[in-house]
Amino acid sequence: MYGYQNGWPGVPGVRLPLSSCGCNDFPAQPCSPFPICGPNGCPIHLDSACVIYHKNMNTISGLVNLNLPNGSTLELILNTIDVQLGPLNVSNWSLPVLRAIYTINTLKQFGEAVDTQIGLINDAIADLEASAVPIVATDSATIDFTTSGTLDHNITASVKISASANNLLIANVDGLYSTPQTLSIDYVNKTLSITEGNEVDFSSLVCGASGFLGNVTSDPTAIDGQYWFRTDLSAASGLRIKLNGSVRTITTS
């Protein structure tokens, strides 16, 4: 028996045996069981290199995934399919982790193994999220903490700067900064002071009342052991000291 099957796109239908099961349709329809040339064998034997895909070039190539044009031989198409199937040979894949747990010989087994493991990972993540608790940050005397984000897991720490008077420490964008200070010595009062800061009294560490009385233009009231420099005199005779109740000149040249 014969009938007309749908032709290729743009090509009229052709008269074929009904046993073709629609295999001349485009795309081809599945046949079950697929006919094998009939009971008398195949009337024509062709090499795959002689069968041409769309030999008339009158329709767009459907071999998009194979990246083959019209005019490709069946041999080229089959060889290209074979190359494409090579990476799909699961038995050649290196799967040490999955193979330690599952038997993987087919793509189906591989997909099922991956799906199972993803499910286990999702369950583990859900358990962690359920058991997670917010982070509590405790400030110290010098550090101030700020928490944010999911369960306060983002922590920011800022150094505290005392608001006490004369504190010159500041926080710049690149870190803490302390303004340079200048030390000043008061030889008369025997003190050491720092710019805009504290003053240290050394009088208790100095024996008696001795010490340098500074630069002056006239001899100060002094006691034995104290010395000074007269700026109104020459360098050679300006250094003075009181010894045994008398002011004496220390010649420096």
SS3 66: coil
Tell me the per-residue pLDDT of 74-117, one tens digit each, with 9 for 90 and over.
Answer: 999 999 888 887 777 888 889 999 999 999 998 899 999 999 99
Question: How far is the C-alpha of 195 from the C-alpha of 181, rounded, in Å?
Answer: 5
Residue 133 binned pLDDT confidence (cut-offs 50, 70, 90): confident
User: Residue 20 above 60 pLDDT?
Assistant: no
Question: How far is the C-alpha of 253 from the C-alpha of 247, rounded, in Å?
Answer: 19
Averaged pLDDT, 158-180: 87
Specify the higher pLDDT residue, 139 or 186. Answer: 139
Write down the mean pLDDT value for the chain.
80
For residue 9, cis peptide bond before it (omega within 30 degrees of 0): no
List the structure tokens of 155: 């922590």
How many other CB atoms are there within 10 angstroms of residue 25's CB atom? Answer: 14
Residue 240 binned pLDDT confidence (cut-offs 50, 70, 90): very high
Q: What helix, strand, coil percent values describe the chain, rounded to 5?
A: 25, 25, 55
Minimum mean pLDDT range among 27-31, 105-109, 138-142? 27-31
User: Residue 33 above 50 pLDDT?
Assistant: no
Question: How far is the C-alpha of 227 from the C-alpha of 238, rounded, in Å?
Answer: 10
Mark 114-134 as b/e (b = at least 16 C-beta within 10 Å): eeeeeeeeeeeeeeeeeeeee
CA-based diameter of the chain, in Å? 150
212, 227 Cβ separation under 8 angstroms: yes
Specify the higher pLDDT residue, 103 or 9. Answer: 103
Residue count of the chain: 253
Residues 6+ away with beta carbon under 8 Å from 135: 147, 151, 152, 153, 155
